[in-house]
Amino acid sequence: MKPEDLKSPFRWEQRRVLFQDRVLYVPDYYDRYDEFSFPGWDDPAFFGNHNPVNVEYCSGNGAWVAGKAAENPAINWVAVEQQFVRARKIWSKIKNHNLNNLIVICGEAATATSHYFTSESINEVYINFPDPWPKQRHAKNRLIRPSFIQDVWRILQKGKRWTFVTDDPDYSELLLEEMGSCAGFSSCYPAPHYVTDYPGYGTSYFDQLWREKGKLIRYHQFQKQAP
């Protein structure tokens, strides 16, 4: 199936939270998120099993997460992507490769997480190449901020990890600064608290793009600690 085969299920003025055909729509500029009751990942409408659930934020066109879902059928995967034009590319991969262990959340990461991710329900979290929003006036748009870090801590199971990948050294330093003030996580790597080589991690559009441009990729990993 082509990405264009997935049509938006509602017009802007009719927008609502809706799970349909492996896509959970969490619209922007909406004030009735509580009207949707999330049934849990093991509900038959979602995964219908108790397998571990891994989440990738900033999934783009889904190359990385689709590859992981195909390689790891005993793990459930959630791809979070705000842009519909990208989310439907992930949906297309689900359909074409029969990835029943992958769903897409089409919505803003922090909003979807705070409203619908239950505490200690996630096995691993991945954030791959988020938009760094380098200008200070756009800082409010950055995914990495204290409230989101606290939510990642809340949804992760005890002792589990989240991995953050970026080509932007300034965003890397911002992340390390924010994480340094958070007692709930510890870095899995010694100083400088990242590595530039992660065999077997997988690849994506942005990974290939930045490598072709000669950029250095930084991999950060943190483990959930007691509060």
CA–CA separation, 59 vs 3, rounded Å? Answer: 15
pLDDT tens digit sequence for 28-81: 999 999 999 999 999 999 999 999 999 999 999 999 999 999 999 999 999 999
Report the number of secondary-structure helices (H) and strands (E) in the chain. Answer: 6, 9
Per-residue pLDDT, 182: 81
Beta strands 18-20 and 23-26, pairing class: antiparallel
DSSP state of 216: P
Round the CA-based radius of gyration of the chain to a whole number and report it. 17
* Contact criterion met (CB below 8 Å) for 103 and 78: yes
pLDDT at 19 over 90: yes
Stated as kind and residue range, the H or E segment containing 218 is strand 218-224
Name the percent of the chain lying above pLDDT 90.
85
Residue 157 CB neighbours (<10 A): 15
CATH of domain 1-118: 3.40.50.150
CA–CA separation, 53 vs 80, rounded Å? Answer: 13
For the chain, which residues make up each domain, given as ranges?
A: 1-118
- On average, the pLDDT of the chain sits at 93
CA–CA separation, 36 vs 175, rounded Å? Answer: 32
By annotation, the residues acting in catalysis are 131
pLDDT tens digit sequence for 150-159: 999 999 999 9
Which neighbouring-strand residues pair with 103? Answer: 78
183 Cβ contact list (under 8 Å, min separation 6)? 225, 227
pLDDT tens digit sequence for 94-135: 999 999 999 999 999 999 999 999 999 999 999 999 987 767
CA–CA separation, 173 vs 178, rounded Å? Answer: 9
pLDDT at 186 over 90: yes
Q: Which of 21, 15, 173 is nearest to 103 (CA)?
A: 21
